[in-house]
A and B are shown apart, each in its own frame.
Chain A
Amino acid sequence: MSGSRRMLPRDLVSEAIGGLLARPARVALTVLGTVIGVGALVATLGLSKTAGNQIVGRFDALSATDVVVSPSARAGGARAAVLPWDAEPRLRRLNGVAAAGTLSDVDVRGALVRSVPINDPLAAGAIQLPMKAASPGLFRAVHARLATGRLFDAGHSRRADRVIVLGPNAARRLGITRIDQQPAVFVGDRLYAVIGLLSGVRRHASLLGAAIMPEGTARREFGLRAPALAQVETRIGAVELIVRQAPVALSPVDPGLLKVASPPDPRQLRGEVKNDLNALFLLLGGVSLLVGAIGIANVTLVSVLERVGEIGLRRALGAGRRHIAAQFLLESTAMGLAGGVMGASLGTLVIVGVSASKTWTPVLDPWVPLGAPALGALIGLISGTYPSLRAASLEPVEALRAGT
């Protein structure tokens, strides 16, 4: 008559399953909430992982090697003279830098730009044109492509030659299409030789509509005090290194005077995309799970109330309170487990379906489909706790009075 091992685990399981199979339709409907909840969670986790994988695959090599150094707010903002004139050679000495150059806006004090007067009534007169000053290495750093002519070099800058390179839009506005006739433009009243026309740039699109002169020239002619920014192209994977080293190389006394703009770490970017996607669907999954849990709790409670007579009979047959509690707890846990298994399958199917339609490679952490049924079972266990305790607390005499 030992009390502790009176009910065999095998009997407990078969009684719980018997209790569920007696009401299959109700169990199926109850489980549905958990199926949807777990399915949404699995699909969300899998899809964001899958999509995150795609983002890394498509990550642009160009933007992944882009570093821009400019004066920090503490130094006094963009106009502060912090960057040294030899920023370009200093940066190029750093291991991991593929190309570097400095770029500044030139304040021409309202001077208008016009091409050398020719007798063309349709040609535009004097226009306002953004004026930029660049170090020679900038053209490589922004992937500038030359349409015709040549770029200026360190010699032009050193001698402060009055030469200019035009972006394609600026050239069109000035009506300059060819170099072979040695065109020139007036900036205010000073004449500049146009030595080259660009056809495109891949960074700093503002260059497309600008006239670009050597830094040395801008310094002498317009009193440019310091470069406004340094553009660096790093080798792949060297961004983090350059981000740390560039301010020290350019402003050894106080690197804090410079700020560095770099592309977000791809891993971080993937994380952010994932978070955006997840936030909504995880919320959806969470709400579905909550509703599913309440459903299981509700149905188990109703089932307890309906089966009061059966509980009384079982107590009369010798069931202890814990046997009754264990049976109802196992029933609700089994419902949660079934919901978890079905939800995991459904979620996996959704991932595969979406991936197939987008020709993605489906990616899923193995613990997701394995953990999902466990989550479902846990939800069933928690939901069943209160109804099971209710069932166990019934007095056998009262319960028997209800009949079956």
Chain B
Amino acid sequence: MSLATAIRSDLRQTSPPRGTHACRALLRRELLLAWRRRSDVLFPVLYALIVVTLFPFALGPEDALLTRISGGVLLVTVLLAMLPNLESMFRGDLEDGSLEQMLLAPQPLALLVLVRVLTHWATTTLPLIVVMPLLALLLRLPIEVLPVLLIALLLATPLLALMGAILSALTAGTRRSAILLALMLLPLAVPVVIFAAGAVAAAQSGLPYLAPLLWLAAALILALVLAPFACAAALRIAVET
């Protein structure tokens, strides 16, 4: 057997790989996984498309009405479309044991979590934002408001993803985790929705919209720093089964 050959190696690694190297390895893994499951990317987009199509049927095709509600409806739709993917963010890792391997790695778990969440956002929600102009067209959003909506989404969705990651880690492995996640996410999502929709509504009325966007940006920066630690703590609790 080939095992008879001795391995001339040092058992103890004197210096573990640096954080950046580990992050790159994790990034590569996440992108590979997203590519292998690329049909999963379609689901949020389809869901959003369905919801957006239903609204004119429910409320009538009158342009003025649709224009009035389009900003809010699009935001809520994006949030709802994010939910299923948020809920399953860590479930797979918990089930196949790869979460434990990340936990036991020499790198800080918070760093790995940050990379994980951001790649998750990039592969699941970014396509949704890319499709946003089409959805905005369907709901008669004025064209000049579209950039504001896109910026608001680019700030709000990573924020929601970071907060949702903490909640997803807390509910990983529990029964009925989907409804539990939605219940827990609502209070955290309220300020985000308020500010994002506030910016869009202000832009629509021709009022200054910078302030709510800046609040969103500040919240996003805060979440980028703090949420990974909370998420790491939640993952350590989740693994204790």
Whether A and B are associated in the same complex: the answer reads: no
Query: Could you list which residues of chain A lie within 8 angstroms of chain B, going by C-beta atoms?
Result: none
